[in-house]
Amino acid sequence: MVFSPLHWIPSALAALMTIRLAVNSNVKPHKVLSAATVLLALLGLVGYISVGSFRFFPIDFHTFHVWIGLFALMLTVFLFIDRIFLHTIEPGKHCRLGKLAALLPTITLVMGLSMLSGLVPEETIAVLALNNTQELTSSHLSGVEAVEYRGTKLMPLSVQGNNAIKGTQRIKKETYRLIVTGLMERVQNLSYNQILELPAYSEIVYMPCVEGWGFNAKWTGFRVTDLLNLTGLKSGSNYVLFTSVDGYSTSLPLDYLRKNNILMAYGINDVTLPQDRGFPLQLVAKGKYGYKWAKWITRIEVAEKDINGYWEARGYSNNANVGRSPFGL
């Protein structure tokens, strides 16, 4: 879903102005308001594009919202151009079409508010329901990028979206260490090769960003709980904090990691995780928004109480369940 203010603020204003024009077509600065409405609608579209690519299918609450919004935009632009330049539609018909143009953004406005407020039932995005059954595999990757897995098309690495607070981090495999500490009997300090000795699994998981884009990928790695089982967890171990080399951090409940067999991936689409995708390790937090998918992980800490990570400390929800508002509302 697209929660970026670059999209929803101008889009919501455009919808409200369209409704205003339809309710009172005799507003004196009609042309000025019409031009402002079109401009805001286009800014909303640019805001959508700037934070990710469109997703038209499968049809679900979000994509239905997108389709209606696009039709509303096209009709509004057409009416504006005709009224100012072409004059092919007689005034009565123009007003009727204007009311239709107002109905569509009214619907999109209500749907958008439903998504922002978290009223939309969780997990309404059909693409997230793809088969994500884990399969025991080898830590040895083919090195040839896969284009499909179990009949599901995978998003090529070259077009996958990506975000980072400090840009791409470059970690050398030879000197990499993963520190595992906190409420445990045995602190771990593992090399990259030691990580590869853990049981390996592969699965397809959709990575959804709060900005609206996302992608399917085949992830290969080890289960977080398999690693934690080596440590002798102490009583009160409830949360796990993941910290990256660039200072980024996020936490997740231990129960969530266990119940969902959450992976830490060193492979994507059958190739070693590229540097810009988070080498050597990216968390595969299925069912959670992308800000929970920490990359370049160098430290794991088990704690009794929850800890706000980078974005959570800036107002984002610590829950991050897809289908809910990502903000701390």
- The verdict on 27 and 141 lying in the same domain is no
Would the pTM count as exceeding 0.85? Answer: no
Residue with tokens 């990570």: 309
Q: At how many degrees (to 10) do helices 61-81 and 91-117 cross?
A: 150
How confident is the model over 93-112, as a mean pLDDT? 84
How confident is the model over 90-115, as a mean pLDDT? 83
- The verdict on 283 and 172 lying in the same domain is yes
Q: How far apart are CA 179 and CA 188, in angstroms?
A: 6
Identify the residue with better confidence: 59 or 199.
199
How confident is the model over 130-156, as a mean pLDDT? 87
Of the given ranges (110-114, 257-261, 262-266, 273-277), which has the lowest mean pLDDT? Answer: 110-114
Left if phi > 0, otherwise alpha if psi is -120 to 50, otherwise beta: which for 169? beta
Residue 326 lies in a domain: no
Phi (first) and psi of residue 317, to 5 degrees: -65, 140
Left if phi > 0, otherwise alpha if psi is -120 to 50, otherwise beta: which for 291? alpha
Task: Domain count for the chain, please give it.
Answer: 2
pLDDT band at 312 (very low <50, low <70, confident <90, very high): very high
Task: Identify which of 39-48, 252-261, 315-324 has the greatest average pLDDT.
Answer: 252-261
User: Which CATH number does the domain housing residue 249 bear?
Assistant: 3.90.420.10
Of 117, 147, 166, which residue is a domain's last?
A: 117
Domain extent, residue 309, equals 128-314
pLDDT band at 240 (very low <50, low <70, confident <90, very high): very high
Share the mean pLDDT of the chain: 86
pLDDT digits (tens, 9 = 90+) for 62-81: 778 888 888 888 888 888 88
pLDDT for 101 equals: 79
How confident is the model over 79-103, as a mean pLDDT? 81
- The verdict on 100 and 139 lying in the same domain is no
Contacts of 314 (CB under 8 A, 6+ apart): none
Of 117, 147, 167, which residue is a domain's last?
A: 117
pLDDT for 123 equals: 40
Three-state SS for 206? strand
Name which of 219, 231, 298 is nearest 262 in CA terms.
219
- The verdict on 137 and 286 lying in the same domain is yes
How confident is the model over 182-197, as a mean pLDDT? 98
Q: What percent of the chain has pLDDT over 90?
A: 51
Of 89, 117, 145, which residue is a domain's last?
A: 117
Q: Checking DSSP bridges between strand 177-182 and strand 297-303, what pairing results, if any?
A: parallel
Residue with tokens 């990502």: 326
Q: How far apart are CA 231 and CA 234, in angstroms?
A: 9
Q: How far apart are CA 73 and CA 115, in angstroms?
A: 20
pLDDT band at 127 (very low <50, low <70, confident <90, very high): very low
Q: How far apart are CA 242 and CA 24, in angstroms?
A: 55
Alpha helices in the chain (DSSP H): 5-23, 30-50, 61-81, 91-117, 192-196, 224-228, 254-259
**Is 169 in contact with 275 (CB distance < 8 Å)?**
yes
pLDDT for 5 equals: 75
- The verdict on 235 and 271 lying in the same domain is yes
Residue 328 lies in a domain: no
Instruction: Provide the terminal-to-terminal Cα distance of the chain, rounded to the nearest Å.
Output: 16
Residue 324 lies in a domain: no
